[in-house]
Homo-oligomer: A and B are copies of this chain.
Amino acid sequence: MIVTVTLNAALDVTYRIDQVHWNGVNRVQDLHRRAGGKGVNVARVLAALGHDVLVTGLAGGPTGRAVELDLTASALPHSLTPIGDDSRTTLAVTGSSGTALFNELGPRVTREELVRFLDGFAGALTGAAAVVISGSLPRGVPADFYATLAAHAADRGIPALVDADGEALRRASAGRPAIVKPNLEELARAFPADALGPESQAGLMRKAGAAAVVVSLGHDGLLAVTAEGTWRARMPYRVAGNPTGAGDAFVAGLAMGVVEGMPWPERLRLAAALGAAAVAMPVAGEIDHGTFQAVHRQINVS
């Protein structure tokens, strides 16, 4: 079983409207609501690939309830710790003129709620082959919380994968995660006044405790800096579509590679192909199997 952690679980709402009146009244004819947040998307991809998953994190209020109902409807096993504040909604309004995204600030989490989450997390680790810790920290969660979670897993010999940003990313390595996965922008934010390239920055993260660092380079593939060496995976061509969720599919591939004990080149090819297959789908958490197969065999890892 792979445990995913989504502290800032969201209800992802999409309104499709042909002609949006940005100063007027719009009737929403096509409405989609689904559980979201990066860890949830990772779990969807893993479940679609046949892996047992457990979605953990925090959920509160009516929006948290909607998240749980959708996880149940999606047959994704979940154990979300209740919080007092309402979980966040993310809204995408898609029309002929483009897509406007509205991201709510999300809940404020109390110390007591975090303690309850940690209790549940310790229980969820029993029987876990890997832990995936992804996404933003809600207000009230300390910046080193992902390091704390990764350290709990490391203490029990369970590999943790961390996909974070900002201060949470900067501190993650201290928890001795198996893999930290930033993209180029996140890496630049984590090392703000730094002229080093991604390979050196990944090296610094490894020195700080991460066993491996995999940097996603968008359409250019990825860079992995590991104890066994440094690899570069190059994509055969550019897949058109929606990059939202590509990083999550990519992380799902890395997690799968870890639990199945794949060698690094194979692991990276799987992860990069899943990322491309997610770009081909309009919704995060889904992958296009045709794209996966077409891309997978052509990825060059060196």
Binding site for B on A (CB under 8 A): 15, 17, 20-29, 31, 33, 61-63, 65-66, 69, 86, 91, 93, 97-105
Asked if A101 meets B24 with Cβ closer than 8 Å, knowing A62-B65, A91-B91, the reply is: yes
Copies of the protein in its oligomer: 2
Question: Chain B residues near A31 (CB, 8 Å)?
Answer: 104-105
A121 CB to closest chain B CB, in angstroms? Answer: 25
- Tell me the nearest residue of chain B to A69, going by C-beta: B62
- Interface contact A23-B102, CB-CB below 8 Å: no
- Interface contact B98-A26, CB-CB below 8 Å: no
| A98 vs B65: C-alpha distance when bound (angstroms) | 32
- Tell me the nearest residue of chain B to A15, going by C-beta: B102
- Interface contact B98-A22, CB-CB below 8 Å: yes
Question: Chain B residues near A20 (CB, 8 Å)?
Answer: 22, 100
Query: Which of these, B15, B29, B65, B100, contacts A23 with CB under 8 Å?
Result: B100
Most buried by B among A27, A101, A102: A102
Question: Chain B residues near A33 (CB, 8 Å)?
Answer: 86
Question: Chain B residues near A100 (CB, 8 Å)?
Answer: 20-24, 26
Asked if A97 meets B25 with Cβ closer than 8 Å, knowing A61-B66, A63-B62, the reply is: no
| A33 vs B86: C-alpha distance when bound (angstroms) | 11
Question: Chain B residues near A86 (CB, 8 Å)?
Answer: 33, 66
A108 CB to closest chain B CB, in angstroms? Answer: 13
Asked if A104 meets B28 with Cβ closer than 8 Å, knowing A62-B63, A65-B65, the reply is: yes
30 examples of A-B residue contacts, CB within 8 angstroms: A15-B102, A17-B102, A20-B100, A21-B100, A22-B22, A22-B97, A22-B98, A22-B100, A23-B98, A23-B99, A23-B100, A24-B98, A24-B100, A26-B100, A26-B102, A27-B105, A28-B102, A28-B103, A28-B105, A29-B105, A31-B105, A33-B86, A61-B66, A61-B69, A62-B63, A62-B66, A62-B69, A63-B66, A91-B91, A93-B102
* Contacts beyond the supplied A22-B97, A22-B100, A62-B63: 14 A-B pairs with Cβ under 8 Å: A15-B102, A17-B102, A20-B22, A22-B22, A22-B98, A25-B101, A26-B101, A27-B103, A28-B102, A28-B104, A28-B105, A29-B105, A61-B69, A93-B102
- Tell me the nearest residue of chain B to A13, going by C-beta: B89
Question: Chain B residues near A103 (CB, 8 Å)?
Answer: 25-28
